[in-house]
Amino acid sequence: MADIEFYNLGDYSKDVIATASIKNMECGKGKTVKRYALVKDYLLPPGSWPESLPPDECNLQYDEWISKLMDDFISSGLEVRPDENGVYSLKYTGTYKLFIEDSDGKYTVVSAELPRLSTNDTEPPNIDFDVTIPAAEGAPAEVKVSAVDNGGVARLDYADIELRQIGKSDNGTDEFFLTNRNSVSDGMIKTDRAIVICAVDKSGNASYKRVDIGDGPEPTTAPTAEPGPTETPDDYLYEISELSILTQSGEKLEAPPENGSFEAEVTVRKLKNESSGDYIFVAVYNEEGILLNIDYVRADFTPDYDCSFGFNIPAQAQKVGSVKAFAWNGFNSAKPLAETREINFQ
């Protein structure tokens, strides 16, 4: 076990906002520490964290799982490295994990939370942006960005999410900024890639906005057109064979958890050998049918193969009334490509 001691420097405009030291690290009688690593926690994909195997049950499966996860953290550059005095410089508030391997090959994981400086101010900055696509082919788009907060904005950054897709976020969270953070200069970003914008206020609250470049704006409403009267399932290009909701560890749910995230899993099959880059959407609605969340994947799918996709649905402020999955050939197209699948919780 070990203790992680944090010291918040109190200035969120700097690259380093806190320091950490590891105290009282031990592995038990007759054992020594073989290796250890401090990492910033992030949104792990389903099944990557063995929640069903608590750290006190250090069986072989748990140790193999944690060993691989620790190696992935280190090899991907997500390990926080200390200076020559053993002090860790931290860039973000939130959860940190200390992985410890002892001389017997057994693992322990210690979690600790670096809180924000103030709990009185809980409102994050409001981010606004406007995208201008240049007329010249191949030229980068211009994204004009602004952020407003009652207590003042400490810093405004962006990350190129196509360089490192660590987790799946609807609007983006700090996992995109762990290894790739760029300062917004004069409120303007020039890019030909999808980005996530992050604004942090002087109390440490952060807000995020995702901007997709190249495929048009991310939809704010789900497509609403219905198949025409002469259209039958035989005319569809895709079949959505299954839609289910799961816990983060992959267990099926009958209804979404209140105040918690969950996974929506969709299985689709392309029925015809036609080359087309199409979209598979998952939309979440409240009990009145108002859209709460929408996510998608886009690809030219291979015919006659079942493909399954997992969508992370963040915790919603309103009760979820239904989840729908549908195929579309664009954000604003009038032609659905599959019969819609729906799970209704009312």
pLDDT tens per residue, range 117-132: 777 778 889 999 888 8
Give Rg (Cα) of the chain: 23
* Of 296 and 264, more confident: 264
Q: Is residue 49 pLDDT above 70, yes or no?
A: no
Q: Is residue 233 pLDDT above 90, yes or no?
A: no
pLDDT tens per residue, range 82-120: 999 999 999 888 888 899 998 988 888 888 888 887 777
106's tokens = 């057994």
Q: Is residue 330 pLDDT above 60, yes or no?
A: yes
- Mean pLDDT score across all residues of the chain: 78
Q: 338: helix, coil or strand?
A: coil
Of 165, 161, 168, 171, the closest CA to residue 312 belongs to 168
Confidence label for 78 from pLDDT (cuts 50, 70 and 90): confident
Domains of the chain: 3-114 (2.60.40), 126-211 (2.60.40.10), 233-344 (2.60.40.10)
The reported pLDDT for the residue numbered 47 is 42
In this predicted structure, which of 26-35, 141-150, 169-178, 228-237 has the lowest mean pLDDT? 228-237
The reported pLDDT for the residue numbered 304 is 83
In this predicted structure, which of 146-155, 202-211, 268-277 has the lowest mean pLDDT? 268-277
The reported pLDDT for the residue numbered 149 is 92
pLDDT tens per residue, range 209-222: 888 775 444 444 45
- State the first-to-last Cα distance of the chain, in angstroms, to the nearest integer: 46
pLDDT tens per residue, range 249-275: 788 898 888 878 888 999 988 888 877
Cα(330)–Cα(53) distance, integer angstroms: 42
Burial 298-327 (b: 16+ CB within 10 A, else e): eeebeeeeeeebbbbbbebeeebbebbbbb
Cα(174)–Cα(184) distance, integer angstroms: 16
Q: How much is the average pLDDT of 64-76?
A: 77
Confidence label for 64 from pLDDT (cuts 50, 70 and 90): confident
Q: Is residue 53 pLDDT above 50, yes or no?
A: no
* Of 74 and 14, more confident: 14
* Of 236 and 301, more confident: 236
* Of 63 and 147, more confident: 147
The reported pLDDT for the residue numbered 284 is 86
Q: Is residue 311 pLDDT above 60, yes or no?
A: yes
Q: How much is the average pLDDT of 138-162?
A: 87
Confidence label for 228 from pLDDT (cuts 50, 70 and 90): very low
* Of 15 and 297, more confident: 15
Letter for the amino acid at 168? K
pLDDT tens per residue, range 97-107: 899 998 988 88
Confidence label for 232 from pLDDT (cuts 50, 70 and 90): very low
Dihedral in degrees, nearest 10, Cα atoms 170, 94, 77, 188: 50
Q: Are strands 94-102 and 33-40 parallel, antiparallel or unpaired?
A: antiparallel
Confidence label for 295 from pLDDT (cuts 50, 70 and 90): confident
